[in-house]
């Protein structure tokens, strides 16, 4: 599914085409998404998009009357196309702008979401439980160390829990733990402060690289301009079980942790 880097790349891709432009029409072709698209989404008609921000994997379209909250779910993608572009199967939601462009949400599995809130505080049911953004100064080694005390769950499950830090999805958890040399099954509460310093640094590096290179190409993801991401070419362990470790040439091991595919090097990760 699209993870934080993919969502951030989407935000960067659509923002120049939408910010400061007025919404002429809201089209809902199928309201049956993860949560039903509310009738109040029509409030967007006639409003100008003032800003587009991201919180975790949610995109927030800000207007003078409220916020549209969008989530890509497991298979969703947003693209900006001329309003005359032929509608595709699974194009469930559309914002038609007065500049003859439109923003379309295509979501084959319909696990995405489009919601409307007059005040951002009203969205707390979706946002209040979320941990810090990983690329901000709020996310530090000290924070993660303190948060992990007495935790017996695996470090991989710990950093993938959005209550602890948002956006460290399966791909990026695998890669960050490999870079830090931490075995993914190690108990979160048994890891030292110094190693948490290193892990936080590497999480930031991995996510920043993914954003810079356009997000990770998954079968359901393309950027807003239709071009696939390229970070998948740089992956050291994810999806490479049975192949040689790029550090020591040992065979990479594949296991399942928390129902998620996990790949690690038995030599490099302790």
Query: Tens digits of per-residue pLDDT, 180-210?
Result: 999 999 999 999 999 999 999 999 999 999 8
Contact indicator for 101, 17 with CB cutoff of 8 Å: yes
55 Rama sector, left if φ>0, alpha if ψ -120 to 50, beta otherwise: beta
Q: Are residues 69 and 97 in the same domain?
A: yes
Please state, rounded to an integer, the average pLDDT across all residues of the chain.
93
* CA 203 to chain centroid: 14
- For residue 149, give the CATH number of its domain: 1.10.8.50
Domain-located, residue 40: yes
Q: Among 54, 57, 77, 104, which one carries the catalytic annotation?
A: 57
Q: Between 75 and 43, whose confidence is greater?
A: 43
Domain-located, residue 132: no
Domain-located, residue 134: no
Domain-located, residue 19: yes
Q: Are residues 87 and 44 in the same domain?
A: yes
User: Residue 210 is part of which domain span?
Assistant: 141-264
Q: Is the pTM of this model over 0.85?
A: yes
Q: Are residues 157 and 91 in the same domain?
A: no
Query: What is residue 213's predicted lDDT score, i.e. its pLDDT?
Result: 82
Which of 10, 135, 160 shows the shortest CA–CA distance to 72? 10
Would you call 57 a catalytic residue per the annotation? yes
Strands (E), 107-264: 113-117, 253-257, 260-264
- pLDDT of 218 higher than 60: no
Q: Are residues 75 and 161 in the same domain?
A: no
Query: What is residue 3's predicted lDDT score, i.e. its pLDDT?
Result: 86
Contact indicator for 102, 87 with CB cutoff of 8 Å: no
90 annotated as belonging to a binding site for a ligand: yes
109 annotated as belonging to a binding site for a ligand: yes
Would you call 246 a catalytic residue per the annotation? no
Would you call 260 a catalytic residue per the annotation? yes
Q: Per the structure, how many domains does the chain have?
A: 2
Q: Are residues 35 and 149 in the same domain?
A: no
- pLDDT of 263 higher than 90: yes
Q: Are residues 79 and 164 in the same domain?
A: no
Would you call 36 a catalytic residue per the annotation? no
Q: Are residues 99 and 164 in the same domain?
A: no
Q: Are residues 121 and 145 in the same domain?
A: no
- Quick one: average pLDDT of 248-264? 97
Contact indicator for 81, 31 with CB cutoff of 8 Å: no
* Boundary-marking domain end, from 72, 102, 127: 127
Q: Among 3, 8, 94, 175, which one carries the catalytic annotation?
A: 3
- For residue 115, give the CATH number of its domain: 3.20.190.10
Q: Could you report the per-residue pLDDT of 56-104, keeping only the tens digit for each?
A: 999 999 999 999 999 999 989 999 999 999 999 999 999 999 999 999 9
């Amino acid at each position: 599914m699209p993870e934080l880097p993919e969502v951030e790349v989407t935000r960067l891709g659509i923002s120049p085409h939408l910010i400061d432009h007025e919404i002429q029409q809201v089209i809902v072709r199928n309201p049956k998404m993860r949560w039903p698209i509310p009738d109040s989404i029509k409030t967007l008609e006639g409003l100008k998009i003032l800003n587009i921000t991201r919180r975790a994997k949610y995109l927030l379209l800000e207007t003078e009357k409220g916020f549209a909250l969008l989530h890509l779910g497991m298979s969703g993608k947003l693209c900006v196309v001329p309003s005359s572009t032929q509608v595709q199967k699974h194009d469930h939601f559309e914002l038609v702008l007065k500049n003859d462009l439109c923003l379309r949400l295509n979501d084959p599995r319909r696990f995405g979401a489009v919601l409307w809130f007059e005040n951002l505080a009203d969205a707390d049911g979706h946002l209040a439980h979320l941990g810090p953004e990983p690329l901000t100064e709020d996310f530090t080694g000290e924070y993660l160390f303190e948060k992990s005390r007495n935790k017996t769950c695996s470090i991989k499950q710990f950093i993938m829990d959005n209550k602890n830090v948002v956006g460290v999805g399966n791909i990026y958890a695998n890669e960050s733990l490999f870079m830090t040399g931490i075995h993914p099954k190690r108990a979160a509460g048994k890891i030292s402060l110094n190693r948490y310093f290193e892990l936080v640094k590497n999480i930031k590096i991995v996510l920043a690289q993914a954003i810079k290179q356009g997000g990770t190409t998954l079968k359901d993801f393309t950027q807003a301009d239709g071009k696939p991401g390229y970070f998948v070419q740089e992956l050291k362990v994810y999806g490479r079980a049975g192949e040689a470790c790029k550090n020591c040439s040992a065979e990479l091991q594949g296991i399942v942790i928390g129902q998620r595919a996990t790949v690690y090097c038995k030599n490099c990760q302790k």
